[in-house]
Amino acid sequence: MPIPGNLLTTAMAVMPHTDVKRALETALSLDIPFWPQLPHYSYYEDMYVQASEHFPGIVLDMEKRTLRFSMEKFALELEDAMSQMDNPSYFDISPTYSVVYHEFLEMDLGTRPAIRGQLEGPISFGLNVQDQDDRPILFDDTIRSFMLEFMAKRINVQLARLLKKNPNAFMFVDEPGLQFLFSAMAGYNNVAAHNDMEGFFAMTDRPRGVHLCGNPDWDFLLSLDLDILSLDVYTNGERFTGYAPSIKRFLDRGATLVWGIAPTNFEPFEKENIATLEARLLDIWDTLGKRGIDRDFLLARSLLSPATCCLVNPDREKTVEKAFLMIRELSARLRERFKLP
């Protein structure tokens, strides 16, 4: 089944809540719910830590809240990890690494238009996790090759579980690190990354796509074989419209865009309202219309979401929850305006 569009609502997963029930209720308030990632509740609920479960060589310090990598430990653990490559339970997220995920899987989600899961992507994971010499493991050819297959299996296992709860389930691969590929980085560049990401997605089941809040080379992302792309257009909308030909090809393939428009950071949120956010979106869509993208077709392949994750607000979850409410109200307003089903 295709991923729904018509300006239904969803959001990215990282949330500032420390109350699991309240976080799930907030996620379930949107049309397409997801299981939240709550690093303030537990370091196990951090997106990088969850992706690291069973990855050979990982050195996790819960007290110091650090995630490192040891090449010596990798060599000792690799054989056992390879022996588990055909074991789906090995690649799932255990209750230790996410209480929230397992509570979500216990819920009745079958009547929703879709549901969504997520996992940290290999590029970002490989950039964030550093070895004993403070070098990102992404730069090691052997580790990177194993990591791509390992993360693909993790995504496939999670998607299979979600599909049992809802036939329209899909996955976000969270890749905040992609924006850093286009600066000078010794040992890895955007050409190698594109080849690796194509190979990675060839190993992952559909539907799946990428979420990131940064500002990468959009041609890089739009040319990948994705079913969905989620981005922060509140910050990056003007630049994104400059890629209209690539956006059109992306949509013509049947893919979906998630327009992240409601800010979740306290200060910008206080400056906005539904009318100002609506005007921003309409201006972006008008610009794309002038560049050859039919608005009705665009809206049929579009979802709405908050613009970014946010863990640093002084009011913790309150502004984030207000952004979720605003995106629901904006969706209703635009769906009525454009008479969407």
Task: Report mean pLDDT in 10-residue bins for the chain, 341 residues.
Answer: 91 97 98 98 98 98 97 97 96 98 98 97 95 94 96 98 97 89 67 92 97 88 96 95 97 97 96 97 98 97 96 95 98 98 89
Distance in angstroms (rounded) separating the CA atoms of residues 60 and 49: 8
Which run of H or of E encompasses 296?
helix 295-300
CATH 3.40.50.150 fits 8-337, yes or no: no
Cβ atoms of 221 and 210 within 8 Å: the answer is: yes
Cβ atoms of 272 and 263 within 8 Å: the answer is: yes
Strands in 208-211's sheet, in edge-to-edge order, are 8-9, 302-306, 256-262, 228-232, 208-211, 170-174, 116-120
Distance in angstroms (rounded) separating the CA atoms of residues 137 and 129: 6
Q: Write down the pLDDT at residue 185.
A: 60
Distance in angstroms (rounded) separating the CA atoms of residues 252 and 245: 11
Distance in angstroms (rounded) separating the CA atoms of residues 267 and 71: 43
Q: Is 71 helix (H, G, I), strand (E, B) or coil?
A: helix
Domain parsing of the chain, residue ranges: 8-337
Which of 82, 9, 26 minimizes the C-alpha distance to 317?
26
Q: Write down the pLDDT at residue 260.
A: 97
User: What CA–CA distances, in Å, run from 63 to 17, 49, 54, 129, 161?
Assistant: 20, 13, 19, 17, 31
Half-sphere exposure of 76 (CA within 13 A, CB side): 8
Q: Would you give the distance in Å from CA 22 to the centre of its chain? A: 21
Cβ atoms of 302 and 257 within 8 Å: the answer is: yes
Q: Would you give the distance in Å from CA 202 to the centre of its chain? A: 18
If 0-12 CB within 10 Å is exposed, 13-18 middle and 19+ buried, where does residue 5 land?
buried
Distance in angstroms (rounded) separating the CA atoms of residues 339 and 296: 10
Q: Which residues have CB under 8 Å from 82's CB, separation 6+?
A: none
Tokens describing residue 270: 């206080």
What is the model's pTM?
A: 0.95
